[in-house]
């Protein structure tokens, strides 16, 4: 079954630095979505990229999608302490279910 | 901005008891979902619901689980006889349509602890 797997599992950076997280999946997809989860809280939708798109921007976020490699990356530029959270990729296929990866835990220190 | 809401935020129950988790999806959305996240693990899909019917369900969603839209605004998940392993964060989500291209918006979750 399709599966999003993030890499790295954990990332620690300083404020102002860029953070890059990667996601790989196994089967063809309709879209790939990135979510953020603050500790013990709900999932906040960040960005959706469709299978026919290669790059998308939203504020300080940049997402790329390479369907030939079945991978996506999330770049957060000029990170802030408030960006500290877990980040998940989730893939959508023909059905309604989103399949989530294990997530990358990002820690941004000031 | 419209958002999905869930109640209660926390629920503690004894093993074997029934629990009902409640959600109010975004008002113009047509598809509703339940996911769960066991502590330290992935978010897992349970079920999707459209037009008063289950649209899709996972292997996790066995006979102990049921969903219902009892009125025009609420969407509920019932666990008939809770087990210890049902302890998890349960997320409700909704989307405008159920097409694969649509964003799913998640609620803040209900943390269920089964003792």
% of chain A residues with pLDDT over 90: 71
Q: Model confidence over A69-95: pLDDT tens digits?
A: 999 999 999 999 999 999 999 998 777
Residues of chain B with confidence (pLDDT) below 70: 98-101
Are A92 and B100 within 8 A, CB to CB? yes
Q: What's residue B77's pLDDT?
A: 98
Are B101 and A30 within 8 A, CB to CB? yes
Contacts of B48 in chain A (CB under 8 A): 95-97
Q: Are strands A19-24 and A5-7 parallel, antiparallel or unpaired?
A: antiparallel
Q: What's residue A93's pLDDT?
A: 75
A5, pLDDT greater than 50: yes
A9, pLDDT greater than 50: yes
Are B48 and A96 within 8 A, CB to CB? yes
Q: What's residue B99's pLDDT?
A: 62
Residue in chain B lying closest to A101 (CA)? B42
Q: Model confidence over A46-72: pLDDT tens digits?
A: 999 999 999 999 999 999 999 999 999
| Minimum-distance CB partner of B42 among A93, A97, A101 | A101
Q: What's residue B98's pLDDT?
A: 64
Contacts of B31 in chain A (CB under 8 A): 96
Q: Tokens at residue B112, please?
A: 């269920």
Is A101:A73 a contact under the CB 8 Å cutoff? Answer: no
Q: What's residue A74's pLDDT?
A: 97
Are B56 and A92 within 8 A, CB to CB? no
Q: What's residue A3's pLDDT?
A: 62
Residue B35 Rama label (left phi>0; alpha psi -120 to 50; beta): beta
Give the minimum alpha-carbon distance from B108 to chain A in angstroms, rounded to a whole number. 4
Q: What's residue A1's pLDDT?
A: 41
CA distance A24 to B55: 27
């Amino acid at each position: 079954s399709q599966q999003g797997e993030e890499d790295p599992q954990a990332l620690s950076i300083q404020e102002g630095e860029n953070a890059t997280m990667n996601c790989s999946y196994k089967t063809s997809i309709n879209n790939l979505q990135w979510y953020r989860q603050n500790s013990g809280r709900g999932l906040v939708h960040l960005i959706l990229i469709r299978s026919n798109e290669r790059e998308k921007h939203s504020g300080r976020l940049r997402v790329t999608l390479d369907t030939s490699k079945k991978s996506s990356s999330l770049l957060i530029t000029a990170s802030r302490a408030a960006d500290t959270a877990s980040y998940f990729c989730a893939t959508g296929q023909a059905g309604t279910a989103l399949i989530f990866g294990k997530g990358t835990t990002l820690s941004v220190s000031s | 901005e419209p958002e999905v809401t869930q109640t209660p935020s926390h629920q503690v129950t004894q093993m074997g008891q029934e629990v009902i988790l409640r959600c109010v999806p975004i008002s113009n959305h047509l598809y509703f979902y339940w996911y769960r996240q066991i502590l330290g693990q992935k978010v897992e899909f349970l079920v999707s619901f459209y037009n008063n019917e289950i649209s899709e369900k996972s292997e996790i969603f066995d006979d102990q689980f049921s969903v219902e839209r009892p009125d025009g605004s609420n969407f509920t998940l019932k666990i008939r006889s809770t087990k210890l392993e049902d302890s998890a964060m349960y997320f409700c989500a909704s989307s405008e349509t159920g097409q694969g291209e649509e964003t799913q918006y998640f609620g803040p979750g209900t943390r269920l602890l089964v003792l």
